[in-house]
Amino acid sequence: MIRLVLLLALTAHCVNAGCPNAWKEFNGFCYAFNIEKVNWLVAAASCKVYTARLPEIDSSEKNEFLLKEIAKLNSGPSWIGASSRLHHLVWEWVPSLANLNRFSNWQPGEPNDRAPSEHCAVIQNESGKKGWVDVSCFLEKRFICEKKL
C-alpha cells in the first residue's frame, strides 16, 4: 500500500513538472500561442484563468523565441504585456508594473501614440515588420500567455 501511494505521488509530481499540454517551454517559462482574436483586456483576463499573464519580454533571447514562434505559427500581431494604460506615455509590464528599461524591441518610430488609445503593444514578425508596435487596446488580436514552470 505504501508503495502504491508513493508511486501515485511521484507520478503526479512528474506529470505536473512540465508545461501544460500544447504550451511551449523556454528558459523556465511556458508559453501558449492563442489563435482566438480578442482585445488586450480579454487577452490578459484569459491568461489569468491559466495562472499566466501576457508575456513580459525582458531579454533579447525571449524576444527572439517569441518572434520565431509567431512566424512559425503565422500568428500575425499578438498581444504582449506592455501597456501605457495606467500611466499615459509611461510603458510598463502589466501586471508587474516593471518598466521597459531593461529591454525593448520597438519597431522604428514606435511607440508613437498615433491614435488616442494606442496604449497596448503587440509583437509581430511578418512582411518585413519585426518587433513591437503600440496599437489600440480595443483591437482584436491573437495573444500569448506566459507562466513560470
23 close to 31: Cβ distance less than 8 angstroms? yes
| pTM: predicted TM-score of the whole model, two decimal places | 0.86
How does pLDDT run across 79-121, given as a tens digit for each residue?
999 999 988 889 999 999 999 988 999 999 999 988 778 999 9
Query: Could you tell me which residues come within 8 angstroms of residue 85 by beta carbon, excluding any fewer than 6 positions away?
Result: 94, 119, 120, 137
pLDDT over 70 (residue 7): no
pLDDT over 80 (residue 17): no
- Report d(CA 63, CA 149) in Å as an integer: 18
Domains parsed from the chain with CATH numbers: 23-148 (3.10.100.10)
Phi, psi of 32 (to 5 degrees): -115, 130
Nearest CA to 140 among 32, 23, 46, 41? 41
